[in-house]
Structures are given as C-alpha cells and as structure tokens.
Amino acid sequence: MSPALIFQIHLVLGYVPWLLCFGAYIWPRLKAMDRVEAQRAIATLHSFRFFGLVFIIPGVVGPNLPTDFAAFAAYADFATGLLAMLALLTVRTRSLFWPLVVAFNLAGAVDIIVDYYHGSQAGLPALAGELGATYAIPIVYVPLLMITHVAAFYLLVRRETQAARTLPGGTAAADGISG
C-alpha cells in the first residue's frame, strides 16, 4: 500500500473509534448536562488547540510540508484555542460566554474543513511523512474535534429551541405545546 493510501485510510478510520466512543460514553453525558456545563466541557477540549502551532516548527514537521497548509492549520488552531479559553474565562458573564462559544465552534469547524481542502489541494496524502511528529493530530485528534463541533452546534440549536418554547414562569408558548 502506498503512503498516500494509508494516510487516507487513517483519516477516514480516525472517525470510527471516536464516533463509537462518543456515542456510547460522551454524547449521553453531554445531552444530560446543563447547557452551560456541556459547552464548557467542549470548550475545555478545544482550549488545547494552541498545540496546532506545532505545524510550523521546523524539525517537528518536514521541510516539504506545504507551507500554505501548515500556516493556516497552525494559526487557525491557535485562534480557535484562544477563543475556547476566552469562553471558559467568561463563563460567569453569559453575554460574553455564548458569543465566544459560537465563535470558537465556527472558527474551529471552518479550520478543519479548510484544512481538509488545503491538504487535498496540496497533495498532502502523498506527503504525509512530512507531517512528522504531527501525523497523529489529523488522525487521532481532529476527528474528535470535528465531532464535538457538530455536537456543540446541535446542543446550541436544540437547547435554544427548547428554551424558546417555554415562556418565563414555566408556561408553554402558543405553539401547541402544553406545559
């Protein structure tokens, strides 16, 4: 098998164990949590994305790693991590917390999607060895990050919808729901 094919298999199969683990252990817990606590848990995971700067450290990655891919991945990860940290720091100020939750999830999801696109355009599968010590990031870490972004968006929409159906004082809104 070629290194490119092995890398592509790794990319796809990296999602399988995380989806199984997430479905069995993480998702039930997140759904049962208070909406703030669930988003804090997700933000905590994403606060480690400062580590993405490793993509631009010579010697950690190979000299032939496409610069456009590496720079975008590094700085977008860094920005996402900082936004997640800011969300965690502002949890008591909800008017700041919620926009930062949305911001880090948007920035992080766009980062991953654009990284997949840049990697494909730059022929990254054939150059997978140039990832060096960072090879495990797209295979092991990125699938969990993407899964948690999807979960965060779902929880934001789901919880907002449920909350919007109930008026202050616990009465149901006039949309056919009895309370």
What confidence tens digit (pLDDT) does each residue in 29-81 have?
999 999 999 999 999 999 999 999 999 999 999 999 999 999 999 999 999 99
Cα separation of 61 and 67, whole Å?
A: 11
DSSP 8-state class, residue 178? -
Per-residue confidence band for 158, with pLDDT thresholds at 50, 70 and 90: confident
Does 169 reside within a domain?
no
Does 118 reside within a domain?
yes
Cα separation of 169 and 123, whole Å?
A: 57
Does 37 reside within a domain?
yes
Range of the structural domain that residue 127 is part of: 3-164
Does 49 reside within a domain?
yes
Number of structural domains, the chain?
1
Does 176 reside within a domain?
no
pLDDT of residue 168: 47
Averaged pLDDT for residues 149-165: 77
Per-residue confidence band for 164, with pLDDT thresholds at 50, 70 and 90: very low
Does 132 reside within a domain?
yes
Q: What is the pTM of this model?
A: 0.87
